Amino acid sequence: MEFYKYQGTGNDFVMVDNRDLQFPKDKTIIEKLCDRRFGIGADGLILLENDPDYDFKMVYYNSDGGESTMCGNGGRCLVAFAFFLDIFEDKCKFMAIDGEHEAEVHNGIIKLKMINVDTISHDGNDFVLNTGSPHYVKYVENLSDYNVYTEGNGIRNSENYREKGINVNFVEKISDQEIFVRTYERGVEDETYSCGTGVTASALTFLQKHHLTSVKVKTLGGNLKVYAEKNGDSFQNIWLEGPAKQVFRGKTDIL
């Protein structure tokens, strides 16, 4: 099987052109392909498929092999992959598990429109919201030295969230225009270098508090930017922007 490897701010994905629907959607196989010792190695695997009403369709799996909810960086990488395959010119629309997404490509920078967010709930002093995937957002100090694995794993496996799982983001304010975000991801069950839906969730809590329409976001794997408009309680016109790159392509016998 031919595959491609992409990364978006260090969130990395095995990418397969499955327009012929030949890929076996088997949990054990996907887990093996994503394994960093015995496989290709990635935070997730994404299938590019045809959709009769859109330029293409996104099917996303976490590295544990389970199909999951929306992946923002994965979506940006898939747009870069579709652009590489000449599926569209500079703007596209695709279908994902959380609905329709628009995207634009300019000089390797991919701008992805995220779903509207109607509710930001509180859990104590922290925030819970869904940006296509469920996210917990906690503001901390000294984020560089923070134990993201232990604290994130604890919240993800706490009584309220254990069953469905949740992604856990730790946020530190850098300035009025910039935040630093580190994320423990459900389904990877570890910290990743960046999480697009998590960066979006974290950014929205910051935009709400400071009445802003955009914020720069630093992650371990690079920099992103989030734009959004607030209409009543709801955030609309939410865009996640940043680089996404093809790293290599190859053939695997794992299947």
Q: Which residues are catalytic?
A: 71, 195
Q: Kindly list the distances between the CA atom of residue 169 and the CA atoms of 92, 149, 160, 204, 224, in Å, as whole numbers in the listed order.
A: 29, 11, 16, 12, 15
Task: State which of residues 49, 55, 185, 241 lies at the interface with ligand LBFN2T5F (CB under 6 A).
Answer: 185
> Residue 161 Cβ, how far from ligand LBFN2T5F at the closest point, in Å?
11
Q: Any contact of residue 219 with ligand LBFN2T5F (CB under 6 A)?
A: no
Rg of the chain over CA atoms, in angstroms?
17
Residues listed for the chain: 255
Of the candidates 224, 249, 252, 229, the one whose C-alpha atom is nearest the C-alpha of residue 75 is 224
- Both structure tokens of 118: 């109607």
- Both structure tokens of 9: 């701010």
Number of residues that bind ligand LBFN2T5F (CB under 6 A): 18
Task: State which of residues 195, 215, 226, 244 lies at the interface with ligand LBFN2T5F (CB under 6 A).
Answer: 195
Task: State which of residues 4, 6, 7, 11 lies at the interface with ligand LBFN2T5F (CB under 6 A).
Answer: 11
Alpha helices in the chain (DSSP H): 27-34, 72-84, 148-156, 196-210
- Asked whether residue 223 is marked as a ligand-binding residue, the answer is no
> Residue 158 Cβ, how far from ligand LBFN2T5F at the closest point, in Å?
16
The region of 145-153, 190-198, 208-216, 227-235 touching ligand LBFN2T5F under the rule CB under 6 A is 190-198
58-97 residues near ligand LBFN2T5F, rule: CB under 6 A: 62, 68-69, 71-74
In whole angstroms, what is the distance from residue 32 CA to residue 252 CA?
Answer: 11
- Asked whether residue 65 is marked as a ligand-binding residue, the answer is no
- Asked whether residue 205 is marked as a ligand-binding residue, the answer is no
Task: Quickly list DSSP for 120-172.
Answer: -EEETTEEEEESSSEEEEEE-S-GGG--HHHHHHHHHTSTTTTTT--EEEEEE
- Asked whether residue 72 is marked as a ligand-binding residue, the answer is yes
- Both structure tokens of 117: 């967010």
**Per-residue contact flags (x/-) with ligand LBFN2T5F for residues 106 to 145, judged by CB under 6 A:** ---------------------------x------------
Residues facing 185 on adjacent strands: 190
Of the candidates 249, 244, 246, the one whose C-alpha atom is nearest the C-alpha of residue 107 is 244
| Binding site feature residues for substrate | 11, 62, 72-73, 167, 185-186, 196-197
Using CB under 6 A, list all residues that contact ligand LBFN2T5F: 11, 62, 68-69, 71-74, 133, 167, 185-188, 192, 195-197
